[in-house]
Amino acid sequence: MKTLGHVMDQVIKRNPNEPEFHQAVREVLESLEPVAERKPQWVDAGIFERIVEPERQILFRVPWVDDSGKVQVNRGFRIQFNSAIGPYKGGLRLHPSVNASILKFLGFEQIFKNSLTGLPIGGGKGGSDFDPKGKSDGEVMRFCQSFMTELSKHIGADTDVPAGDIGTGAREIGYMYGQYKRLRNEFTGVLTGKGLQWGGSLVRTEATGYGLCYFMDEALKAKGKSFKDATVVISGSGNVAIYATQKVYQLGGKVVALSDSNGYIYDADGIKLDTVQRIKEVERKRIIEYVKYHPNAVYTEGCAGIWTIPCDIALPCATQNELDETAAKTLIANGCYAVGEGANMPSTAEAVSVFLANKVIFGPAKAANAGGVATSALEMSQNSMRYSWTFEEVDEKLKDIMTNIYTAASEAASAYGDADNLVMGANIAGFLKVAEAMYAQGVAY
Ligand code: NDP
């Protein structure tokens, strides 16, 4: 990196032992080199140094009592990364792997993703190393209440509006919202992903998976392809994976594999989504259960092998760095021509290079999975208006937003000399709006 290398060096020095954060920043800074060359005034104003430093990081203790009466202690985080174009907005991840590096990478990515939606939302992310898996409803509730008791001091409908992410679904958002309301005595849109009876938006549950398919549909169309009759492999079996599967079927494709962190299922006849939804959304069990209902399907232990299944389109929808260079090469060797990232940063940097070098139609996460946060912003609008749009109205807006994101990323890629490179296009298109806002708002002394 010619102009921005020193910014990267400083990030590494100031944030040691944070590989995921370094990875996310490096990718963005590499894409922004041509912008830095065209905008020396932004270099002089320290825009690049400022954008890689969170505005605020909150770290707190989360004590709660388990079912046996024992006190447990987890760690809570909220990274308020950038508020140049709106209140901080981004999900809360509950997973034992959660640490500062992962939340900073997610918060950083969120800045550009939120900007790409065209809606007025800044970037943030939070969560805890609490693992909801295997916990009773009572334990999850007590954890969420303790977590929100501290978090409530730092968020608000015009300040910071968290949402769901891995491990934080409708149940957790409900417990957290209830506690916020008790503490503050106000009914506001402080969280998104709420239940439909208490301020939630139609389509929010489906939005990330649907939006991913709308985005990829545009990218495929541009190259004379579509989901029709395509064989699709999707990793994960959570919120994003389930609704991506549903939309792939609606668009005429066939999903043949899904996974969880234990292993993957392959059903050559096409995955039966109602079975997966019952196992995952109702019973909260493991994906291996699927083969009990569909003996023709095959279960394989270990989730990484899912990328060895031949497919036309791959949609990684589980977690970061789940698809490496070897997996990328295997996918291509087996005929895969398009990859859309439903999860955040699911492909390693090496895998992304392989996709770009081989002209795979590649939808990077911050563009392709922006449908979730876009619909969260639509939920905020409805809360402010105290009004609800119909499913069709929200779905139409989501489709328009995803089409606009594709156009913005594709046009920026061409304008900066690397047509079809949607990684670079998305980074630049997302960055420009935030940088202009930061520049206009000046530096605080
Ligand atoms: P869920 O918790 O609903 O599902 C996550 C899925 O991924 C589960 O099947 C889970 O399996 C699997 N998974 C999680 N961690 C790992 C791991 N370390 N290794 C292998 N598999 C794993 O989360 P979501 O579907 O909401 O989120 C999935 C991804 O999409 C994340 O990267 C998230 O940040 C991103 N995303 C989500 C949005 C949303 O609206 N929900 C919006 C934008 C991005 P298991 O049950 O075994 O843990």
pLDDT in tens, 359-383: 999 999 999 999 999 999 999 999 9
Q: Has residue 445 got a pLDDT over 80?
A: no
> Can you name the residues that pair with 60 across neighbouring β-strands?
76
What CATH number corresponds to the domain at position 240?
3.40.50.720
State whether the beta carbon of 192 lies less than 6 angstroms from ligand 1: no
Using CA atoms, how far apart are residues 425 and 435, in angstroms rounded to an integer? 15
Residues 114 and 76 reside in one and the same domain:
yes
The tens digit of pLDDT for each residue in 16-25 reads 999 999 999 9
The tens digit of pLDDT for each residue in 139-191 reads 999 999 999 999 999 999 999 999 999 999 999 999 999 999 999 999 999 99
Would you say residue 196 lies in a domain? no
What CATH number corresponds to the domain at position 89?
3.40.50.10860
How far does residue 68's CA lie from ligand 1's centre (Å)?
Answer: 29
Spatial contact of 165 and 127, defined as CB atoms under 8 Å apart = yes
* Contacts by 393-400, CB closer than 8 A, 24 or more apart: 394/201, 394/202, 394/203, 395/203, 395/210, 398/203, 398/207, 398/210, 398/211, 398/214, 398/371, 398/374, 399/214
State whether the beta carbon of 208 lies less than 6 angstroms from ligand 1: yes
Residues 227 and 359 reside in one and the same domain:
yes
Nearest residue (by CA) to ligand 1, atom 48, is 261
Residues 178 and 244 reside in one and the same domain:
no
Residues 269 and 341 reside in one and the same domain:
yes
Per-residue pLDDT at 1:
83
State whether the beta carbon of 240 lies less than 6 angstroms from ligand 1: yes
**Confidence band for 260, pLDDT divided at 50, 70 and 90:** very high
Secondary structure element (H or E) that encloses residue 377, with its range: helix 371-385
Last-in-domain residue among 123, 156, 187: 187
Residues 276 and 345 reside in one and the same domain:
yes
How far does residue 229's CA lie from ligand 1's centre (Å)?
Answer: 26
Give the ligand 1 atom nearest the CA of 344.
32
The tens digit of pLDDT for each residue in 317-361 reads 999 999 999 999 999 999 999 999 999 999 999 999 999 999 999
Report in angstroms the alpha-carbon separations of 237 from 72, 258, 268, 293, 324: 29, 6, 17, 16, 19
Per-residue pLDDT at 153:
98
Report in angstroms the alpha-carbon separations of 24 from 104, 107, 245, 376, 418: 9, 10, 27, 23, 20
**Strands 160-163 and 122-128, bridge-based pairing:** unpaired
Report in angstroms the alpha-carbon separations of 314 from 138, 273, 310: 38, 17, 9
Q: Has residue 103 got a pLDDT over 80?
A: yes
Which mutation among 240, 246, 321, 345 tests ligand 1's pocket best, with the greatest number of atoms within 8 A of CB? 240
Last-in-domain residue among 344, 368, 392: 368
**Strands 231-235 and 122-128, bridge-based pairing:** unpaired
Would you say residue 148 lies in a domain? yes
**Confidence band for 2, pLDDT divided at 50, 70 and 90:** confident
Would you say residue 282 lies in a domain? yes
Residues 142 and 279 reside in one and the same domain:
no
Would you say residue 247 lies in a domain? yes
Spatial contact of 267 and 238, defined as CB atoms under 8 Å apart = no
Q: What is the DSSP letter of 255?
A: E
Spatial contact of 217 and 248, defined as CB atoms under 8 Å apart = no
Secondary structure element (H or E) that encloses residue 82, with its range: strand 71-82
Residue in 212, 210, 190, 211 with CA at minimum distance from that of residue 199: 190
Which mutation among 105, 239, 301 tests ligand 1's pocket best, with the greatest number of atoms within 8 A of CB? 239
Give the ligand 1 atom nearest the CA of 207.
40
Residues 172 and 241 reside in one and the same domain:
no
Residue in 318, 309, 368 with CA at minimum distance from that of residue 341: 368
The tens digit of pLDDT for each residue in 262-318 reads 999 999 999 999 999 999 999 999 999 999 999 999 999 999 999 999 999 999 999
Residues 211 and 183 reside in one and the same domain:
no
State whether the beta carbon of 369 lies less than 6 angstroms from ligand 1: yes
Residues 221 and 363 reside in one and the same domain:
yes
Q: Has residue 129 got a pLDDT over 90?
A: yes
Would you say residue 374 lies in a domain? no
The tens digit of pLDDT for each residue in 38-93 reads 999 999 999 999 999 999 999 999 999 999 999 999 999 999 999 999 999 999 99
Last-in-domain residue among 351, 368, 385: 368
How far does residue 319's CA lie from ligand 1's centre (Å)?
Answer: 5
Using CA atoms, how far apart are residues 117 and 113, in angstroms rounded to an integer? 7
How far does residue 77's CA lie from ligand 1's centre (Å)?
Answer: 18
Residues 286 and 239 reside in one and the same domain:
yes
The whole domain housing 310 covers: 207-368
Residue 59 three-state SS: strand
Catalytic residue among 39, 125, 254, 366: 125
Give the ligand 1 atom nearest the CA of 113.
43
**Strands 71-82 and 56-65, bridge-based pairing:** antiparallel
366 is known as an active-site residue: no
Residues 172 and 142 reside in one and the same domain:
yes
Give the ligand 1 atom nearest the CA of 260.
11
State whether the beta carbon of 127 lies less than 6 angstroms from ligand 1: no
Using CA atoms, how far apart are residues 311 and 334, in angstroms rounded to an integer? 7
Q: Locate 88 and state its tokens.
A: 């901080």
Would you say residue 438 lies in a domain? no
Radius of gyration of the chain (CA): 21
Would you say residue 11 lies in a domain? no
Residues 264 and 180 reside in one and the same domain:
no
Using CA atoms, how far apart are residues 302 and 259, in angstroms rounded to an integer? 9
Q: Provide φ and ψ at 329, rounded to 5°.
A: -65, -40
**Confidence band for 12, pLDDT divided at 50, 70 and 90:** very high
Number of independent structural domains in the chain: 2
Would you say residue 13 lies in a domain? no
